[in-house]
Each structure stands twice: as C-alpha cells, then as structure tokens.
Amino acid sequence: MATPHEEPPPVLVIEKVPVAGEQPIDARTLRIQGIPTPPHLVVYPELGSGAMGHVHPATDRNLLRHVALKRLDRDLVGEPMYRGGFIAEAQMTGQLEHPNIVPVHDLGFSEAGVPYFTMKLVQGINLDRWLRAHPLGDPARLSEGLEILLKVCDAVAYAHHRGVVHRDLKPENIMVAEFGQVYVMDWGLARLTKTRPASGQASQMEAPGAVGTPGYLSPEQARGKPAEMDERSDVFGIGAMLYEIVSGRLPYGPDVRKHLALAEQGRVYPIATTGVNLGVARGIGAIADRATAADPLHRYQTVLALQREIRQFLRGGLHLPQASFESGTVIVQEGDVGDAAFMIVQGHCRVYRTDAGRQETLQTLGPGDVFGEMALILDEPRAASVVAEDQVTALVLDQETMHEGLGLDGWTGALVRALAQRFHDLELRVRRAGLSRA
C-alpha cells in the first residue's frame, strides 16, 4: 500500500481514442481557436454551439472515458455577465445530482482564462429529432413520448426541490440516449428561487428581459419579469412539449415569428383549435391545455402534479397490448363470435350493419371510444361491423385481462353482465320494432 510520500501506481493511459470516427484537433488549431486543452483530455471537433458556449467531444485519458467539454466563447470571456453565467451553469448543474440530469465532472480555466467544464457525453439524439422520427400517427409518438416526459418531470421536480428553475425547457434540451436514458440539458438560463440547502446560496439578482425560447416560454418569461418566474414557468415548458407531442404544433400557433409577441400577450391557443386531426384521447389534450394556461394560477402548480396526471393517463389503458389497422381494415365483423374489445387510441372507425347487401352506417368512433365490449361480456355474436376509416391504433382488451381488471367472477361481474344483457335486450326490441315498421 502506497504511503502519502510515494508515487501513485502507474495507470493505463489511452493515447488516442476516436470519437464517432473523428480525428483529434491538432495543437496548433487548439491554440489558434483558444480551445482549452487540459493535459489529460484529447479534444475533438465541435459537436455544437449555443448563445455563449461551444461543446466538443473529448477523451479523458486518465479515467478512460469519453466526455463532453463545454467552453465559453473566447470573445465573451471579458464580459462579466457571460463569464459569471457560464460558471454558474457549471456549478449549478454540478450540484443537481439526479439520474436524468447530465452529470458535470469538473470546472477549470485555460491559460488564457477561458472557463470550461466537462460532463457526461450523451450518445443519442435530442427530443426534437426524436419527434421528427416519430410523426403524428406513429403509435410510439404518444406512448413513448409520454414516458420520456415523465423522466423529464422527475429531473425538473428534483431541481425545483433544490430551488432551481430551468427556464429553457424545449425538445432541443432533452437528450434521449441509446438505451432509454433521458437527460435534461443546458441549465444556462436556470435561476435560483430560494436558498438552496446544499450551498447556502441565495436567489441571485437578475436584469429584466425575456428569458427562454419562443414557442416554449411562458407568458411571464416573455414579459421579462424575473420575480414572476417560478416552478410554474417550467410547468409551462413541459406542457408545451406535451402539446407538441400530441398535436405536432406549439401553444402559440404555427407562425414562429409571432411566438414571442403572442407569449407576451398571453395568447395561448387551446389544443382543439390547432386544426390538426389529433387522433388521440381527449384527456391528454386537456392535460396539455391546463399545463400551458396563460395564467400561472390556472396551471398545475407543481411539476409533480402534472406528472401525476400524465402517469394516470398512461395507466388508464396504454399499458394494454396495442394493435394497428390500415385504412379499410374490418376490425370487427358482424356475426362473428367476439373474444376481444377495443379502445381507440389514434384514428377513426365506422360502425355499420349490413341489410340486404347494403351497409347502414350507425356511427363514427374516435379516440377514447370503445367497441366490441357487448360480445365480449355476453359471449354472443357481434351485432355490427367496425372498419378503420384511417390509420387506427387501438388497445386490445381480452377476456382474461377484463376478468383480472374488473373481477368479473364476483358481484361486480354479475352487475356488469346484467347491465350488458339489459342494453342488449333493449337494442333487439328497438331493431325488431324498426323492422316491423319497415
């Protein structure tokens, strides 16, 4: 065992490990561009940049791992506001230790005084690219998209507990990694709302001005009054992402040039007015509307309250097996013996009966509607046919699942069957009366 005066044992050092097939930046370019070059890091070409910083993949040769190096733009080093804000981002993020917040490893300064910090290098795509890969109508957009938001809620709720408000929640700042990990990134606009237990830091003073990204920022952020920006501002940001997942639109309409002005005015459009055929249950649209209410008092007052609503929606049936049907597919055939019921998640269906070779349309069903339940409960032939009018995704409920969920072997089952039989008998009488009149 080494004593404090002895040299530490040698370690295996990786001299050169490519990142995504790139070659390291040469020493001359690093010097010319003013890129910090800690001796233990091999730095690679820039991944991306923001308002005041640049991000590079790098290899830590001592710990044998890939990291991301974020540096302040060297032209802003002399600006106290930007320099202080960059350092505050590193320190704030470094104190938010949560599985869905990207961890910061260290903070340092180059010889020229350029601040930088290193953090976990996330291999994946941001939520914006994920949404582009899962357009409206894709079943995964809703079910998997909501699962992603639940993890975002976990991270943001934890930050709120620590007295930190993100203020720039948007798909570009949510990373979805290769194995399902979700990270809330870029805390550069974060604000302290109260003294934080770990650090004892008090709320910072801040000049008035709009904060956030148009399209996702709350009205109070657009009006630029820091004292009015609190946890409910982040509720709006998460709600705006939920709004986009559900409708493909943003709360301030399709014209991005008007988003900031509409936000200042509190002109949030209800999701039903988007003009988009949502093809999803109305309940999740109502959650998005409440989360993006213009008045903070009308929103969910905490991220945890919003998260509970989203989770309850998911538990309301989206855990059941799903089936997809192309337009024109007959899902239920009149006269067949039923062994399953269906609840529409996305798309629309037409219910019809066949009389003398002609189809008589009875009704049109949409998201949230259920069909096939009578034949499932009563073990009788289907009374009508159901055909998909467009691309349809439906939850499938079979007899085993229904018995487990409703306890149909007991008094509950007897009541459900009695009610189903009563409606069935009433329907038969109505149909016979209609036929006799004909």
CATH number at residue 113: 3.30.200.20
pLDDT band at 149 (very low <50, low <70, confident <90, very high): very high
Q: Bigger pLDDT: 410 or 311? A: 311
**Residue range(s) defining the domain that contains residue 105:** 27-120
What is the per-residue pLDDT across 359-369, written as a single tens digit (0 to 9) for each?
999 999 998 88
In a domain, 262, yes or no: yes
Residue 199 lies in a domain: no
Query: How do 340-346 and 370-371 pair as beta strands?
Result: antiparallel
420 is a domain residue: yes
Contact criterion met (CB below 8 Å) for 290 and 299? yes
The full DSSP string for 158-224 is: HHHHTTEE-----GGGEEEETTS-EEE---TT-EE-S--TTT-PPPPP---S--S-TTTS-HHHHTT
Does 326 share its domain with 419?
A: yes
292 and 340 together in one domain: no
Name 152's Cβ contacts closer than 8 Å, sequence gap at least 6: 100, 169, 174, 182, 184, 238, 241
CB-based contact 52:70 (threshold 8 Å): no
Residue 289 among the catalytic residues: no
Tell me the pLDDT tens digit for each residue of 233-286.
999 999 999 999 999 999 999 899 999 999 999 999 999 888 676 666 678 889
Q: Which residue has the tokens 């439906």?
A: 394
Task: Choose between 200 and 79: higher pLDDT.
Answer: 79
At residue 17, the pLDDT reads 45
In the chain, how many domains are there? 3
pLDDT of residue 323: 85
Catalytic-labelled residue, pool 168, 186, 230, 234:
168
Q: How much is the pTM? A: 0.71
pLDDT band at 33 (very low <50, low <70, confident <90, very high): confident
Residues 256 and 372 in one domain: no
What is the rounded CA–CA span in Å between residue 56 and residue 61?
15
Q: Which of these, 128, 104, 239, 236, lies nearest to 176 by C-alpha position?
A: 128
- Same domain for 145 and 279, yes or no, is yes
| Domain assignment present for 205 | no
Domain boundary among 120, 142, 167: 120
- Residue % of the chain over a pLDDT of 70: 79
Q: For 48-71, what is the mean pLDDT? A: 88
Q: What is the CATH number of the domain that holds 392?
A: 2.60.120.10
**Cβ neighbourhood burial of 312 (10 Å; 0-12, 13-18, 19+):** exposed
pLDDT of residue 137: 77
Q: Are 376 and 387 in contact (CB under 8 A)?
A: no
Residues whose CB is less than 8 angstroms from the CB of residue 145 and which lie 6 or more positions away in sequence, other chains included: 130, 131, 134, 245
Q: Is residue 4 in a domain?
A: no
Question: Is position 107 within any domain?
Answer: yes
**Could you tell me the CATH number of the domain that includes residue 148?**
1.10.510.10
Examine the domain organization and report whether 155 and 242 are in the same domain.
yes
Least confident segment among 41-45, 277-281, 346-350, 392-396: 277-281
155 and 299 fall within a common domain = yes
Residues 338 and 299 in one domain: no
Considering the domain architecture, whether residues 180 and 93 belong to the same structural domain is answered as no
- Quickly tell me which residue has 């040469």 as its tokens: 26
Q: Is there a single domain that holds both residue 338 and residue 223?
A: no
Regarding whether 276 and 177 lie in a shared domain, the answer is yes
Cα–Cα nearest to 85, from 109, 115, 112, 46: 115
389-414 mean pLDDT: 65
* C-alpha of 390 from chain center: 26
**One domain for residues 333 and 402:** yes
Task: List helix spans (H) across 39-138.
Answer: 80-95, 127-133
Answer yes or no: is pLDDT of 197 > 70.
Answer: no
| pLDDT at site 430 | 57
404/331 same-domain check: yes
Q: Is residue 200 part of a domain?
A: no
Mean local confidence (pLDDT), 319-334: 85
Q: Which of 83, 102, 120 is the last residue of a domain?
A: 120
The phi, psi pair for 86, rounded to 5°, reads -65, -45
Q: How far is CA 272 from the centre of its chain?
A: 20
Last residue of a domain, one of 285, 318, 351: 318
* Inter-CA distances, 394 with 51, 318, 345, 366, Å: 44, 9, 5, 10
Please give the Cα distance from 391 to 363 (Å, whole number): 18
Task: Tell which residue, 216, 224, 274, has the closest CA to residue 247.
Answer: 274
- Mean pLDDT, residues 148-153 taken together: 97
Please check whether residue 144 lies inside any domain of the structure.
yes
